[in-house]
Every structure is written in C-alpha cells, then in structure tokens.
Structure 1
Amino acid sequence: MKTLQNQTLLYDKDCPLCNIYTSGFIKVKMLDNNGRKAYCDLTNEEQKFIDLQRATNEIALIDNKNKTVIYGIDSLLKVLGNSMPWVEKIGHVKPIKFGLKKLYSFISYNRKVIIPSKEDKTQTLQCVPNFNYTYRYIYILFATLIASLVLFKFSKLITRIPESNFIREALITISQIGFQALFISKLNFEKQLNYFGNLMTVSLMGSLMLIPVLIIDLMIQIPELVLLFWFGFTTAIMLFEHIRRIKLLELLKLLSATWILYRLLILLLILFL
C-alpha cells in the first residue's frame, strides 16, 4: 500500500469501531506510524485550527504540514484513495458520495449505542457525537425491521409454537421498547432513546446469531431440538450483553429483570392465546 505521509486521523479512543479501522490503516501502511491520534490528546495549538465539534461527529484528517483539516467521508476517501485512486474517484461521484455520507452519519451518530463504552470523566476533551434524533429513530427502526424479519423466518422452523407472521414479530419487537419505557420514564428523553438504541442493538445482535442457522437450514434440515437449543443460547448471550450495557450506562439493574419478564410474558401469550 502507498503510505499517506504527514496526515493524522483523529479518532475516538473509547470507540472500538474507531480503534479498529484507524489502527488497520496503519497496519496496512495506508498511514504512517503517526497516522492517528486520539481526540482527547489534541494539543492547544491543534485545537485552534480544528473544528472540535464537527470532529466529534465526523472523523478529522489533519494535514500536519499545511495545518488544514478535512472531515468525515472525505477523510476516509483521501486515505483509501492514496493507495487506490479508483476508490476515491468512485466515492466522489455525487449519488455515491451522497449515499456514503448518509451511511457514515448513520454509523457515527449511533456508534455509542452500536458498541458502547464507559465514559472517562477524567478527560477534558470528550469525543461524544451530537445527539441526532433523526438518525437514532432510523437506527431503532432499522434494528426493529431486521430483528422482526429474522424472528419471523426462524419461527417458521419451529412447529411447536403457533404459526407466526411478520406483523406479530414486529409488534413483539417494538412493544419491548414500550414495556421497558415504563421503568425509565423518569429519565430525560435523550437518555431514554440512548437506552432504547442499546436495547435494539441487543435484539439486532441476537438476530445476527440466528442468521447462520437459517442459512444452514436451507441446505440441510436442522432438528427442531437443535434449533430450540440455539435459540435459548442466543437469548442467554443477549441477556448477558444487556446486563453489560446496563452497567456501562449506569442504569437500574431492574431493567435486565424486566427484559426477562417481558420475554416470559410474550412466550406465555404465544403458547396459550
């Protein structure tokens, strides 16, 4: 790979996604060994020519020689385009760049609910994205649709429960938000949406664990007991992940108990109604 010299990407050191792809650029020699820097480690001089607020939402690429900065998808296209010019050329085609910007914003504004981290309150500079209601609603809807579709497909493989449909699975998935909302109503609305984003990430994670089973079943029929075991295992992993996120968010442990209660109530309703 051709190395982009004297350029530094600012990254959120508390964001695992940011850590992975910025360190990856250095490992594959797209950036030199000084090619990334944690946002919280910015010097006073650097803070003078960097848009600090914008850099929390869009990764900034600093030209150390000219003291200029570009942000977001332009930063990534420049890094990739230095080694693969065709990527940058395609990425700057207007319709493609528009889509890339929207996708980048979707991930960036939701990165703290996709992979949360404990806030380091000792840091003066916090790389926390602005709270964007539109992208949070879109993320919750996206996770709901994926989880509902996967659960619908999976439920068709289980003959021991009444036949399902997509509408029922969607209602079950979205109603979980309403049920949990009863127990966090005293929190401000942003904190509630932050929890709901994490809640739906757990559901999305569970769905991703079920997808390989759906693919395998297309080729060979999997015994129903194996399917039930895998579903139970997936639910257990989801519970542990929910508990972990509750701790990171410093919310009531009760929310994990009500998470279990909701699923038990839904199971009873499915079996006996």
Structure 2
Amino acid sequence: MKKVLIYDADCPLCRAYTKGLVVAGALPAEDRIASHAITDPALVNRLDPVRQRHEIPFVNLETGEAQYGVEAILTVTQRRWPRFTRFIRDTLLFELGRRFYAFVSYNRRLLFPAPPERPHLMDLTPDFNLGYRIVFLVLLFGTLLTGHLAAVGSVTPLAAGMLATHLLVTGSYILRHSSTTRLANILDYLGHLGMSILVGGLVKSIGFAFDWPILLLAGNAIILWQHLVRLRVMQLPDRLNVPFALFVLLNG
C-alpha cells in the first residue's frame, strides 16, 4: 500500500522537517514528494482543496484516502516512535500542536516568501486568516521593538517620521491598487516589512554585541535586499524601497 507525504516545496521549514523524518528513518525517501513534482491531476482532485493548502497531506495512492497536518505527521512518526506518538495523541500536546501548526502554516508565505504566478498543478498558497495574521504581527513587531530598545535604547524622531512617511506612501499605493483584498494586502505588507527588518536585524544584533561595524552595514544591506524581494513578491514597484532605505539609514 503506497503512501506519500507531499510537502510545500516553497517552504524551507517544510523541506527541513520532512527531510528530518527521512533521515530519522520514519519515512522512506521515495515516499517524500515535493508539491512541484506532482503531475497527476487525478491525485490532486482526490485531495481536499482547502486543507491541502494549509496542512501537509499524507496520501494513500491506491485509495486516495488522505490525512492532513499534525495527524499526517503523527501517522508517519508512528512507524518509528509509537510510544511517543501515542503520548502526543493522548495529551493536550496534540491540540497545542494543531494550533501552532496552523499559526505557522497560515503565515508561512510571510516567513518564507515565494514568487507569485508560477504554473504548478498543486497550489499550496495559504488563505488569509485575520486572527493568525494579527497574532503574527503583534509577536513580530513586539520582538522588533524590544530588540531595538535593548540594542539602541531609543527610537529617533527623525527615523520614526521617515517610517511613518514610508508606511503612508506604501499604504496609499496598496489601497489604490487593491479592490476586495485591501485589508489582507495591507497586513501582508506589514508582515513582509517586519520580516525584512527582523532578518537583517539579527545580523545587526551580532554587530552590536561584538562591536563589529561591518555587520551593521551587512545587516542594513540585508534589510533592504529582503524588502526589495518582498515588494516584488507582492508585485509592488521597486521605487517603494527608496523611502524605506532612508528609514533604515536614519535608524542606523
């Protein structure tokens, strides 16, 4: 009875943990398939069109029966760690795992941006979920503010004003060019903005800790590069990187 685990090839985290299952001996390598490699429309049609975008499917190729998300992962781990798997299923950890899995899944295109409009038979782009997106943004910007205050001690009024100007310009552009998805697009952009700062900020934090100015410059370059990449993912014009670059330079 042939079963396969189909992972989102655009998600580095998905690639990593499914590869980990293979390395650990819980899943045969040939039973791990990237979503890009799926070429059989009949297989895709057997899957739940909504759940497949949010929860990794473990599919029986003979019957078409599928398990999704945490349940799919536990079915795989049952082969290698039966006691551990039973423990997870029988405790609160199962529900907590489902919640955390959903939180990451609905926000994974912000964590790991993927180029838009690529023709693949299996579309795994997650839907927009307002609750999970707001929680993500609160955690993200709370972390950024706490880290900045710990490293620098304050936010300069000039940098704050430049950031506000940038948000006004970018927000206005998004509102003008969006129709029914304005709120989703605005919150998506805020997520991409925050992730750009976080990725480069991690490099800058090492520079602050060890007094290595070269890492401060590298961190700023990474922030601007990440922001440009994410503008293109959202199909926003490159020129919106200019006011953001001024904010980054003023912010140190």
Q: Which TM bucket (shorter chain)?
A: 0.7 to 0.9
Matched to 1:129, the amino acid is P
TM-score (norm 1): 0.76
Match of 2:171 among 181, 193, 200: 181
Mapped partners of 1:176, 1:93: distance in 2: 52
Name the SS for the 2:220 alignment partner: helix
Mapped partners of 2:165, 2:17: distance in 1: 33
String of CA shifts for 1:202-254, please: whole Å, max 9, x gaps: 1222333345567xx5xxxx4xxx25543333112111121122233321112
TM-score (norm 2): 0.82
With 203-212 and 91-100 compared, the bigger mean Cα shift is at 203-212
Offset at 1:27?
3.8
Match of 1:84 in 2: 81
Q: Structure 1: state its 5+ residue gaps.
A: 157-163, 268-273
Match of 2:32 in 1: 36
Match of 2:14 in 1: 18
1:8·1:36 contact (CA, 8 Å) conserved in 2? yes
Question: Structure 1 residue 107 and structure 2 residue 104: aligned?
Answer: yes
Matched to 1:259, the amino acid is F
1:11·1:22 contact (CA, 8 Å) conserved in 2? yes
Percent same amino acid among aligned pairs?
22
Offset at 1:172?
8.4
- Superposed, which structure 2 residues align to 1:58-207 within 5 Å? 58-156=55-153, 164=154, 178-179=167-168, 180-188=170-178, 189=182, 190-207=184-201
Name the SS for the 2:174 alignment partner: coil
Mapped partners of 1:63, 1:174: distance in 2: 51
With 106-115 and 49-58 compared, the bigger mean Cα shift is at 49-58
Mapped partners of 1:265, 1:24: distance in 2: 42
Name the SS for the 1:13 alignment partner: coil
Match of 1:246 in 2: 231
Match of 2:243 in 1: 258
Mapped partners of 2:195, 2:92: distance in 1: 29
With 52-61 and 12-21 compared, the bigger mean Cα shift is at 12-21
String of CA shifts for 1:101-140, please: whole Å, max 9, x gaps: 1111111111111111113432243211111121111111
Mapped partners of 1:120, 1:178: distance in 2: 26
Cα distance 1:87–1:231, how it changes in 2: closer, same or farther (>3 A)? farther
Offset at 1:185?
2.7
Mapped partners of 1:152, 1:173: distance in 2: 18
Offset at 1:147?
0.9
Aligned residues: 243
Offset at 1:42?
5.3
Cα distance 1:187–1:22, how it changes in 2: closer, same or farther (>3 A)? farther
Larger Rg: 1
Match of 2:202 among 182, 201, 208: 208
1:144·1:200 contact (CA, 8 Å) conserved in 2? yes
Mapped partners of 1:90, 1:249: distance in 2: 42
Match of 2:220 in 1: 235
Match of 1:7 in 2: 3
With 66-75 and 20-29 compared, the bigger mean Cα shift is at 20-29
Q: Structure 2: state its 5+ residue gaps.
A: none
Offset at 1:76?
1.4
1:183·1:255 contact (CA, 8 Å) conserved in 2? no
Match of 1:270 in 2: none
String of CA shifts for 1:60-118, please: whole Å, max 9, x gaps: 11133553211111111222232122431232244212221111111111111111111
Cα distance 1:84–1:181, how it changes in 2: closer, same or farther (>3 A)? same
